Structure 1
Amino acid sequence: MLAAMPDSAPSPLSAGGASPRDGGAAGATPRAGGDACPGTLRLHRADDGALARVRIPGGVLSADQAEALLTAAARFGDGELHLTSRGNVQLRGLGTECGGELAGLLTAAGLLPSAAHERARNIVASPLAGLDGSGGLGAWLTELDRLVCGSPAAAALSGRFLFALDDGRGDVDALGADVTLIAEGPAGAALLRIGAADEVFRVPAAEAPRAALRAAEEFLRAARDSGAWRVKDLPDDVRAELVRTIGSAVARPRPRTATPPAPGPHGSAITADVPLGRLTPTQWQLLTDTARRYGGELRLTPWRGIVIPGPVPRPEAADALRTLSGAGLITAPDSPWTGVGACIGHPGCAKSLSDVRAEAGAAVGPPGRLPVYWSGCERRCGHPHGEWIDVVVTPDGHRISHVRGERRDAPTTTVRNDSARLAAAVAEARA
C-alpha cells in the first residue's frame, strides 16, 4: 500500500539527442539511451540555437519570477518566451555556453530549487482554482513540489512524467497525467487517479500530496524492468499490478475532453490566450506589469494561456483585456486564433517539413467547434488532448484527420500545394 521507495533508487538519467514528443505507444517503451527531455541544466540543440525548458509547477509565477524569465530570454536567447502544453516556459535561440549563467539566474529567482529534480517538477493544476468560486489548490501544489524535490527516488522520474492537480472541474484530469489528484467537495477527501484509468482511490485531502508522490515512486519500482517512461507505457499486467499495489479503487471515469478557461473575465481573474504560445518581450512585459497591478501573480495554463488573478473589478478587467488585446493576445472566445496551435516547425526544428506556424496563421478563419493543431512531422510535439483536428505535414502533403482521444478517424484528407484548399479543408474539419 503506497510503500516509499528506498534511497537507493536509480539516479537521474542523462543523454543527448533530440527531445522526443511527450507520449508513448501502448505497451512498454524501452528507455533507449536515456531521457532526452530538455531542462535548464541540460540544453537541447535545435536549428535556431539551444533550447531550455523551465518547469513552472502549477504554472504559477510571481511577477518577479516572470521578470527573471524575460531577462534570461533577452540575455541568453532570442528574447521570446514560448508556453508549452504543460504550462512550462521554453527559451529558444540560446548560446550553447550559457547553461551555468542561466542556471544561476533561475536559481536566484526561485525557479530552480533542486538541480537533481528540475526535470521531474512537471505539475499542472486547474488554472482557475480558487478564483471563480472553486476551492484553491495552493497548499497541495506547494507541498507536492516540496515532496518531489525532497525525494531521492523522484529524481529518477523522466521529464515526461506528469502530475496533475484538479480542483474538481475535470479540466486537468482530462489530460491523462501519470498521477492525478482531484479535490472532492468539502468533505476533506481527495481522489487519486493513476494514469488514464477509469477508477480512483480515495485518500484524506491532507495526505493527498504524499500519496501522489508515493504513487510516482511505486511507478518507478514497476518501471525498472519494463523501461517505461510513463504509466501508459507500462505493459498491461505491470500497470494492473501497480494499481493493486496502491489499494482498492472505486469507479470514476476520466473526462475525455479538457475544457480550458475561455479568454476573458472569470470571477476575480482575467484570462488571455497566446497565439501559438509565442510571446514577444513586449507582450510578456505587459502581462507581468498587469499582474503587478492585481496581486503580483500569473498562472500559465496547459492550453498556452495566462490567468492573472485579481481582485479585478469588472470595469478594470475590461480595460486590462482591451490593452492585452491591443498587444495581440486572445481576450475573447470569438477570436479567430482560439483553439489554433502548432509546433515550432521549420526553421526552428530540423525534423519539420514545413513552416507550420506561418501556415496556421495563413489558414486562420472563423472559430471552429474543435481545436486544430499543426505539426511539421509525425512526432506531433505539444499536441492537445481529447478531441481535436490534426494537421500533419507529410512528404505527400498536409494530412488532416479527426482525433478523439486515442482514436483517429478515417478517412483522412490530404491537401498538397494549395493553401486556399488547405484553409478550407481545415475550417470544414473544425466545424
Structure 2
Amino acid sequence: MRNLRLQFENECYPVWIGVRCVDEIMSNLRELSASSYHMITDSTVSQLHAGVLYERLSAQAVASLWVVGNGESCKCLGTVENLAQKMVQDGIDRSSVIVAVGGGVIGNLAGLIAALLFRGIRLVHVPTTLIAAADSVASLKQAVNLSLGKNLLGCFHKPTAVLIDINFLRTLPATQIRSGMYEIIKNALTVATENIPLLEKGLKPDANYSDTEFMAIVEAGLFAKQKVMKDDKRERKEALVFEYGHTVGHAIELAAEGRVPHGEAVGLGMIVAAEVASRLGRLSEADRSLHYQLLRRNGLTVRLPVGVTVAALMALLRTDNKRGYLSARTDQVVMILLDGLGVPAGPVGRPLMLVDASLIQSCIEDCLTGIKEIAVEGGFQ
C-alpha cells in the first residue's frame, strides 16, 4: 500500500492506499492493539465489504459489527445515541477502536460517536465510496444533520488512520462514482486549477475508470484538501472554499430526501454559484462556461430533481451551516463565490460573500428549472 500523511496544522494522520489490499488493511487494524474493534457500516456495504472485513477481524480480535440503514435519513442524533448505547452495553472502552466502513454518512456517524464516547476514542476510516476516499476522509469534521439543515450538530475529531482499497470502488454504481468526481471538479475550480486540463481530457460520463485512474483521482482529491487545510484544520478560514457549491447543494440534497447523491447536488450548487458570481460581474463568461463544460462531461443534468421546489430550497438556505461567519440580513445568504478559477471572492483568509436571496432565487429559477435558457458553449443549457 502507498502511504501518504495528511497534515492539518498540528494534527497529522496516515492514509494508506492500495488495490486489492484487504490483508494490509487487516494488518494495520491489528497493529492498533485495541481492546475491541467496533465496525460501523450500512446495510448495503455490510453485504459487499464490511461483512468480509468483520469476519477476518473477529477471527483474530474482539470485534462487533454495527449495521445502520442507508442514506442521509440515518445521519442524525438518534442514530448516534442508539449506536452509542448499544456499544456501551457491548463493553466498548477507552482502548477500543471504531472502524467506519462505508461512505460519507457512515464516516460522519462513526466519527461523531468516536469523538463523544469517553470524550474521544480512536477512529479508523475504511472508505468504500469515491467521495469518501477522495474528499471526506481528509477532514477533522464530524457531524450529523437536523431536519432544518445538514451538518448542524458536530465537532472535530482526528482519525487515527485511513485505509483505502481502490478495489472497493469497483462495486459502486456509476452515479456514485460521478458523485465523487463532482468534488474533484470543485477542488480543481477552487484550489487545484492545475488539474483542469486533466479533467477536460479525462472525465468519463460512463464513470468507467481504471485502477490507475482511480488511484490518481483519490490522491488528487486528498492533496487538494491538504493544500489549504495544512494551515486551517478547522476549515473556518481559507478552507471554507471547499464549501463551494454546498450552500445550494446541501439545500437540494435535503429537499430531495436522499434521492440525489451528495456530489450531484453540489454540482448543481456550483452551477448556481457560478451564475451568481457572473451576474455580480465577478466571474468571466469563459470561467462560467467552464463550470457547465466540466460538470456536463461528468454527466450532470442541469435541472432541479423531480419534486424539489424553489420555495423549499429558499427556506432551507435560511438555515445553512455557514450562518454566523458574517452578519447577514434575513434576506441575505452567505455563499462562497469565485472571482476566477482558483481565486475565491471575499476577504483574504475568509472567502465568504453576502448575496441577496432574491438573486440566488433568480439564478436557481433560470439555471435549474428551465424558466429561462442560459447560453453555454454557443448553444443553450
Alignment TM-score, normalising by the size of structure 2: 0.32
Larger fraction in helix: 2
Alignment TM-score, normalising by the size of structure 1: 0.29
